Amino acid sequence: MDAALDQIAARAAAAARPFAQTTPRARAAALVAVADALDQNAAELIAIAIRETGLTEPRLTGEVRRTSNQLRLFAEVIVDGAYLDARIDDADPEYVIGPRPDVRRVLEPVGPVLNFAASNFPFAFSVAGGDSAAALAAGCPLIVKTHSGHPELSRRTGEIVAAALAGAGMPDGVFQVVAGQQAGVELLKDDRIRAGAFTGSTHVGRLLADIAASRPRPIPFFGELGSVNPAYATAGAIAAEPDLLQGFLGSVAGSAGQLCTKPGFLFVPQGAELGPVGEAAATVPEHRLLNPGIGRAFEERRGAVLAAPGVTVLAEGEVRVDDAQQRFATPTVVEVDLATLREHRDDLLEESFGPLSIIVRYADADELPAVQRDLFPGNLTSTLHASEAELADGRLADLVDALAETSGRVLFGGWPTGVSVTGAMQHGGPYPATTTDATSVGTAAITRFLRGVAYQSAPQSLLPAPLRDDNPWGVPQRRSTAGRSAGWGTLTGHH
Amino acid sequence: MDAALDQIAARAAAAARPFAQTTPRARAAALVAVADALDQNAAELIAIAIRETGLTEPRLTGEVRRTSNQLRLFAEVIVDGAYLDARIDDADPEYVIGPRPDVRRVLEPVGPVLNFAASNFPFAFSVAGGDSAAALAAGCPLIVKTHSGHPELSRRTGEIVAAALAGAGMPDGVFQVVAGQQAGVELLKDDRIRAGAFTGSTHVGRLLADIAASRPRPIPFFGELGSVNPAYATAGAIAAEPDLLQGFLGSVAGSAGQLCTKPGFLFVPQGAELGPVGEAAATVPEHRLLNPGIGRAFEERRGAVLAAPGVTVLAEGEVRVDDAQQRFATPTVVEVDLATLREHRDDLLEESFGPLSIIVRYADADELPAVQRDLFPGNLTSTLHASEAELADGRLADLVDALAETSGRVLFGGWPTGVSVTGAMQHGGPYPATTTDATSVGTAAITRFLRGVAYQSAPQSLLPAPLRDDNPWGVPQRRSTAGRSAGWGTLTGHH
C-alpha cells in the first residue's frame, strides 16, 4: 500500500473513536448540513452528472432530492434512538437462570467503513448515497471508493460533503474518497477497515465479498449484486388492468433499464392479450447507456437473448454507437414459453443491465410457485399483478409464499423500480440479490454498521449515554426489572 | 452426499414453509415442551454427561437448568413479538421523497439452519442449546451436527427434543441430528442449508466459515471461536478487593478452565501484592479435561507457556493421564512482565483451553489502552477491576473505550465466566471472538436467523399476521402514518 493510501486508512482509523463519541444530535445536524449542501449545489452537480452518465435531468433532479432526503431521514432515525436497541437488565439475585448482574447492551459503530459506489445512481448509491448516509449516521468513519463512470461528479460531491461535515464540527477523517480499483481492493484487505458496502455487478461484488471473507480478520461485506425481479400477471390482471403493458414498459425502459429492480421477466398466461408490445416500445425514445463498458455489455447480452432458440422478438429495439463509444438504446422485448425458458435457462436467466425484458407465457398458474423457487431463488423484488377476486380467494397464497421466500420485497400491483426510502423498505434478498440478507435502502440499513456491546455492573458515569438510568438522549430503553421471569423487558423512554 | 444425508437435508427444506407458518404461540409452546422434557429427564442425561465429559454434577445440574430456561426465555421472546421488528409505512402521496406506497416489513425465518454443537457445554451449547433454541424460536428447521465428545448424550437429548417437538405438533423435519465431521461439512456446502452456527476452536471455526463463504450461494455463518478475555486490576482494586485472587482463580479453574470466557490474562501493577497464588491454586482439586484430544492440546499448550522465556511460574499445576488417555489437571498460573508478553506474543497470546492463566505485571496504567488495542483486538469479554474512586475520576475512560472497541462484553468487577442468559447479554465480539459481531447468547441471538421481507401494497388477507392492521398476534408495530416528514414511525400495539 502506498503512503497516500496508508494515510487515508490511518485517518479513518484515528477518527473512529472521536466520531463514535459524537452525539446523535450532532451527527444528525451534520447529515442535514450535507443534505442542504447537496440541494444548494444541485444545479452544478446535475450538469456534471448529465454529461458523465447520460441520465436525464428530471431523473437526476429527483435523485438529488431522494439523496438529500435520505440523509435527513437518517438524521431523524439517529435522534429518535430506537436504532440503538438499548436494553437494560437490572440485577436480579432471584433470576430464574441464576443470580443476574446488571447487564446493559447498546449497538455501537463497527469502525471504518469502505463503500464502493455504484454506476447507475450517481447520487443515491454513490458518494453521498444511502450506504454513506447509513455509515455516517451509525458513527462510522467512511471511505468511498468512487465509481469510474462519474469521476468529476464524485470529486465535486466529495468536496461538498467533506466541507459540510467539517462545517458541522465532525472530526477530521470521518469522510474520505479514493479512486481506482486497486485502491479499493487494497483498502478492503486492510485491517483498519471494519466493514464493506457495495452496489454493482454480481461478478465484481462476489470478487470483493471473497476478499472480505478471506482476510486474516474477515469483515462483513454488504454487497447488492444482481437481481432479475420477476413479475407475474394473472388472467384476471390482464383483464382488469388496461395500463399493465405501459406500466411494465415504463419500468423496463426507465433510466434505460439500468436499475437493480428492473423487471427482467414478466409472466403472462398463454393466449392472454397483453397489447401491442412492439408499437408501445417504439414510442420510447432512445436513452444513453451509462458508459461505454456498460453499453458494450448490454449489446452483447441483448445479442445473446435475441439469438437464443425459441425466442420470439416482440420489440427488437436498437443499439446505436456514437464516436465516443457511448451507446444509445431503445427497449428490446422478447417472448418465450416456459418450456423454452427452462431449457435455455443458462442463456436466458442472467440479468440484462439495460432496457431488455423477457415475457414468459405460462399454461398453468399452479406451476408458478415452483417456477419461482426453481428459476429465481434470489431477488431484490418480485411482483404480482392479480385481480381483487383472485387475491381474495386464497388461490395465490402459495405463490405469495414462494415470492416472499425468494425476495426481499413482494409487490402487489405496481412495478419494482422507484424504491421508496422509508422505515419499512427492504432492499436486499437471498443471494445473489445481496451477499447478506441485509437491506441497503431504508432506515434498517443502519444496523449493518453497528455491533452489540454489553456493559456488566458498570458505574453510571462510565456507561454510554443510551444505557444510563437518567437517559440523557431520551432514547427508547427496553428494561427488564428484577423479579420478572425472563429478560425481554418493557419499553420505556420512547418519546 | 449419501442418500441418508440427502434425505436429512430434503426433510429440513420441506419443513421450512410449514414451520415458518406456525404461530409464535405454537412455537413457544413447543419450546416449553422441550424445556419440560429436558428437566424431566435431567437425572438420566446428567449421568451420561458426567461419564462422557468429566464435568461435575453441580455444574451439569446448573447447565441443564440454564438450558431449559433459555428455551423458555425464547418462548417469551417470540410471543412478545418485538423480535419481528414489524414496520408499517402507510401510503403517502405527499411523502417528501416522492409518493410512497403502503410498505410493510417483518423479519421472517431464513430457512434450514445447521448448528455445530460444542464440546464444553454438553447441554447449553449442544443439541438443545442456545443456537438451537434461537433457530427453532425463529421458525427455522434445525439440523444439529453433534459433538463427538458426548455422542450418547447427544443421541439421547436428540430423542427427547424430537419427541417433545412432535408432541407439541411441530411439523415433521424441523429437528434432526447428524454425527461426524464429514456429514457436517457436506451439509454446510448444501444449497438447502441457509445459515450455519458453530461454537468451538478458532481453527475449525475458520475452516467452516470459509466453506460457508465460498459456496456458490454463500450463507451467513455465526461462529463463536476463540477469546482470551483479558482482565485488568488497578492498584486501587488490589487494595480494595481482598478476594480478588480467589475470584480470579475460581474463574480460571472452574470447569477446568474449559470455558470460552475464561480470563486468560490478568494485568496487575508491578509491586502490588496479589496474594499467595501458588498456595491458593494448590487448594483447587484436579478436574478431568473434556476428552483425550482436548487434554492433549492443553498439555502441549501448557508446556509451551511454561517453556517461554521470561516466564515466572507461580503455580505449576499438574496434568495426569489415566489409562483411557483422559487427562486431569490442576491450575497453572504464570507471571510475565509486559515487555516479555510483547516480545513473545506469538508464544503467549494464543488461547489456552484449560486451567491456565497468565498474570502480566505492568508499570504504567496509562499504557493499558494501547496494550488492549494492540494485543487483544477481538474478545468475547474484557474485565476491569478498579476502586470506586478510580472509576469516578475519569482516568479510566480511555481504557473502558479500548475494552468496548475490542470486546462484546465489558465487566466492571466480577469475572466473565457464568454468562447470564438475558435480554441485554452480548456473547460475541470482534474476530476471532466471533466470525460476525452477532451474539450467540441472550435474546438478541434470534436475529441471526431472520431476514427482512417487505410487502408493498398487499391486501390485508395476504399479509403476514404481524403486519396486518388488526394485528392478531398483538405484536409491537412501528407505524409511520401519512404526513410525517420521514419513515421512522411510532410504536403501537405493545402490550
Distance of CA A194 to CAs A146, B60, B207, B208, B335, Å? Answer: 18, 38, 21, 21, 34
Among the listed residues B148, B131, B120, B158, the one whose alpha carbon sits nearest the alpha carbon of residue B220: B131
Mutate to test the interface with A, among B103, B395, B406 (most CBs of A within 10 A): B103
pLDDT in tens, A393-436: 989 999 999 999 999 999 999 999 999 999 999 999 999 999 99
Report the 10 Å Cβ neighbour count for A319: 19
Q: Which residue of B has its CA nearest to A463?
A: B400
Distance CA(B179)–CA(B275), nearest Å, equals 47
Query: Does the residue A459 lie in any domain?
Result: no
Q: How far is CA B77 from the centre of its chain?
A: 18
Among the listed residues B229, B244, B232, B228, the one whose alpha carbon sits nearest the alpha carbon of residue B368: B232
Contact check, Cβ <8 Å, B111/A405: yes
Sequential pLDDT tens for chain B (495 residues): 899 999 999 999 999 999 999 999 999 999 999 999 999 999 999 999 999 999 999 999 999 999 999 999 999 999 999 999 999 999 999 887 778 999 999 999 999 999 999 999 999 999 999 999 999 999 999 999 999 999 999 999 999 999 999 999 999 999 999 999 999 999 999 999 999 999 999 999 999 999 999 999 999 999 999 999 999 999 999 999 999 999 999 999 999 999 999 999 999 999 999 999 999 999 999 999 999 999 999 999 999 999 999 999 999 999 999 999 999 999 999 999 999 999 999 999 999 999 999 999 999 999 999 999 999 999 999 999 999 999 999 899 999 999 999 999 999 999 999 999 999 999 999 999 999 989 999 999 999 999 999 999 999 999 999 999 999 999 999 999 887 655 445 555 443
Same domain, B45 and B174: yes
Distance CA(A268)–CA(A359), nearest Å, equals 7
Query: A322: distance to nearest CA of chain B, Å?
Result: 35
Which residues of B are less than 8 Å from A62 in CB distance?
98
Which residues of B are less than 8 Å from A412 in CB distance?
455-459, 462
Among the listed residues A187, A65, A185, the one whose alpha carbon sits nearest the alpha carbon of residue A128: A65
* 3-state SS, residue A175: strand
pLDDT in tens, A8-51: 999 999 999 999 999 999 999 999 999 999 999 999 999 999 99
Angle between helix B151-167 and B42-53 (nearest 10): 150
Which residues of B are less than 8 Å from A218 in CB distance?
209, 213, 431, 435
Distance CA(B57)–CA(B229), nearest Å, equals 26
B216 burial (CB, 10 Å; 0-12 / 13-18 / 19+) is exposed
User: Burial code of B282-317, b = ≥16 C-beta within 10 A, e = fewer?
Assistant: eebebbbbbbeebbebbbebbeebeebeebeebbeb
Query: A313: distance to nearest CA of chain B, Å?
Result: 32
pLDDT at A484: 62
Q: Which domain holds residue A258?
A: 230-412
B274: Cβ–Cβ under 8 A, 6 or more apart, which residues? B233, B238, B244, B245, B268, B359
Contact check, Cβ <8 Å, B488/A443: yes
Contact check, Cβ <8 Å, A17/B405: yes
Which residues of B are less than 8 Å from A396 in CB distance?
462
Q: How do A327-330 and A318-321 pair as beta strands? A: antiparallel
Q: Which residue of A has its CA nearest to B21?
A: A401
Query: B2: distance to nearest CA of chain A, Å?
Result: 23
Same domain, B272 and B352: yes
Active-site residue list of B? 224, 260
Query: B18: distance to nearest CA of chain A, Å?
Result: 11
Same domain, A357 and A393: yes
ipTM comes to 0.96
pLDDT at B47: 98
Query: Does the residue B247 lie in any domain?
Result: yes
Same domain, B209 and B270: no
Mutate to test the interface with B, among A22, A104, A451 (most CBs of B within 10 A): A451
Question: B9 phi and psi, to 5 degrees?
Answer: -65, -40
B355 preceded by a cis bond (ω within 30 of 0)? no
Contact check, Cβ <8 Å, A111/B455: no
Sheet hosting strand A327-330, strand order edge to edge? A287-288, A327-330, A318-321
Distance CA(A454)–CA(A458), nearest Å, equals 10
pLDDT at B484: 62
Is the four-CA dihedral B479, B484, B487, B491 of positive or negative sign? negative
Domain count, chain A: 2
Same domain, A258 and A201: no
Half-sphere exposure of A478 (CA within 13 A, CB side): 27
Sheet hosting strand B175-178, strand order edge to edge? B175-178, B142-145, B113-116, B195-199, B221-224
pLDDT in tens, A324-377: 999 999 999 999 999 999 999 999 999 999 999 999 999 999 999 999 999 999
Copy the grid coordinates of residue B277. Answer: 497464588
Query: Does the residue A49 lie in any domain?
Result: yes
A423 → closest Cβ in B89, B217, B457: B89
A488 → closest Cβ in B80, B418, B457: B80
Same domain, B253 and B382: yes
Q: What is the dihedral of CA A51, A52, A57, A61, to 10 degrees?
A: -140
Helix/strand/coil percentages in chain B, nearest 5: 45, 20, 35
Same domain, A279 and A371: yes
pLDDT at A485: 53
Same domain, B56 and B150: yes
Query: Does the residue B207 lie in any domain?
Result: yes
DSSP single-letter state for residue A171: P
Distance CA(A251)–CA(A240), nearest Å, equals 19
Mutate to test the interface with A, among B437, B439, B457, B495 (most CBs of A within 10 A): B437
Q: Largest Cα–Cα distance of chain B, in whole Å?
A: 79
Same domain, A266 and A339: yes
Query: Does the residue B423 lie in any domain?
Result: no
Please say whether the beta carbons of A137 and A107 come within 8 A: no
Among the listed residues B215, B135, B105, the one whose alpha carbon sits nearest the alpha carbon of residue A438: B105
Same domain, A39 and A159: yes
Query: Does the residue A434 lie in any domain?
Result: no
Contact check, Cβ <8 Å, A100/B494: no
Query: Does the residue A44 lie in any domain?
Result: yes
Report the 10 Å Cβ neighbour count for B358: 24
A65: Cβ–Cβ under 8 A, 6 or more apart, which residues? A39, B97, B98
The CATH number that applies at residue A108 is 3.40.605.10
Contact check, Cβ <8 Å, A486/B72: yes
B417: Cβ–Cβ under 8 A, 6 or more apart, which residues? B251, B254, B255, B259, B261, B262, B263
Q: Which residue of A has its CA nearest to B387?
A: A459
Please say whether the beta carbons of A379 and A410 come within 8 A: no
Please say whether the beta carbons of B423 and A489 come within 8 A: yes
User: Burial code of A239-271, b = ≥16 C-beta within 10 A, e = fewer?
Assistant: eebeebbebbbbbbbbbbbbbbbbbbbbbbbee
Mutate to test the interface with B, among A217, A225, A412 (most CBs of B within 10 A): A412
Active-site residue list of A? 224, 260
Same domain, B114 and B249: no
Same domain, A291 and A260: yes
Half-sphere exposure of B183 (CA within 13 A, CB side): 22
* 3-state SS, residue B207: helix
Please say whether the beta carbons of B52 and B156 come within 8 A: no
Q: Which residue of A has its CA nearest to B440?
A: A452
Please say whether the beta carbons of A198 and A208 come within 8 A: yes
Helix/strand/coil percentages in chain A, nearest 5: 45, 20, 35
Half-sphere exposure of A67 (CA within 13 A, CB side): 30
Distance CA(A44)–CA(A47), nearest Å, equals 5
Query: A409: distance to nearest CA of chain B, Å?
Result: 4
pLDDT at A91: 95
